[in-house]
Structure 1
Amino acid sequence: MATETAPAPTETEAEHDDHHPEHLEHHFVSSEQQFDSAKLGMWVFLITEVLLFSGMFVAYAVFRQWNPEVFAAASGTLNQTMGALNTVVLLTSSLTVALSIHAIKQDKVKQCIYYLLGTLGLAGGFMVVKYFEYMAKFEHGVYPGGAFDPHGAHYEHLAEMAMAPQFFSIYFVMTGIHGVHVVIGMIVIGALAIMAWRGSFSSEWYTPVELTGLYWHLVDIVWIFLFPLLYLI
């Protein structure tokens, strides 16, 4: 009995197989479609992140409305200079990550790596400043929740304010979760720099770089809201 043979691939299919980029998954028609799909997925993820921080912002707004004098007094003990420095650092890191995307689009791989490393260094600087800021609070008994036991000339008046622990609980939770996001971003950016050094990215495929840039911009935007709410008003 004669066996059926599969039809030979058409010229179009053969050409498709020959020119199929390594980064292109087979269930996508083109790199553009794959990029649009990945970008949509990232935007959905970022929306969930916005919802996460929005809940904390709402909690802050409610408790501040109930205790405006206490929140203003507690806010006054925060180091505005360190907060402003970290704001400048993160804004600069947004610029460097944007420049890294611009560089890889032009096949300037070395520049992309330098900008990614610059972003990584700035993020590390942000965390170092935050570390010293936290340590200054802990040394004076300013902890979240029931461990709150302020002492020292700059903090002792907070012991008389019943809702002062609530402010610092919100402060540590919001800045702490933001700090976790910064650390996650640092890990990803470091990995991207290594991948770029190994030649993984080019003007034909730089999706991970651009998606990480979107994530990093969100991290920066959240801090832009945190800084004035916690440190200035």
Structure 2
Amino acid sequence: MEKPSDSNGKQKVRSAEVGTDILKALAQLSPATSLSRLAEHVQMPASKVHRYLQALIASGFAEQNPATNHYGLGREALRVGLAALNSMDVLKVAALPLAELRDELNETCFVAVWGNQGATVVHIEPAVRAVTVVTQLGSVLPLLSSSTGLVFSAFLPNRETEELREIEVQTSGAHPLADPRDYALLREQIRDRGLHHVHGLLMPGVDALSAPVFNAVGKVAAVMTIVGPASLFHADENGPAAQRLLAASRAVSWRMGFQPSA
């Protein structure tokens, strides 16, 4: 026979689960939604959803607009969300997926973030074999001559990359991306594909594949890259390595709170 305390405990857990489901639904239907739409979304009777909403409003996790009677997330939900965002460190989140990517492909994999000088390598998982590509921690990669830099250029605002682009074009002579139209077209193609590859562009005989990692507000937080000798690694954007890289970068983005648009 089940003890009353056990029954009460299970009921409290179930109530917490229902409350959490309603909070998630408020986030998904943000900025505001009607009671009927919310009830339909969580597949619960409107009367039941209304009871939970009153409790959530009382605790500050939900609020109701008196003009429309629609419901949305409250101040306390915002505080919890901001605390979660502040605890998200892209290097920590990407560390395990990056190591798994290296183990699966046995190619050097690294994460770069955007720093004051450009794309900066901040974490490396080197290939475990005699023939490898040496990538230095702290290296700053060129914007226009590396797959990492070009992925950053595709997803960052122009104001953050334009000065660096102009410097690289001026110092490299006849750069293939000197024409702004060619540069804009390539950036659009990278955004459409969600990744980019280069064959020997930065270093002869070295291929690279890169894909972006996004944070909860949809901004590029980092770029994950696979790099290897062309004789062993084939940076084909439709190949298995590319698909594995995309899966890893999307998993990290999801963990960072990113929700891709439909």
- Structure richer in helix, relative to its length: 1
Give the alignment's TM-score, normalised by structure 1.
0.30
TM-score by length of structure 2 reads 0.28
Greater share of residues in strand: 2
If asked which structure has higher relative contact order (CA below 8 Å, sep 6+), I would say 1
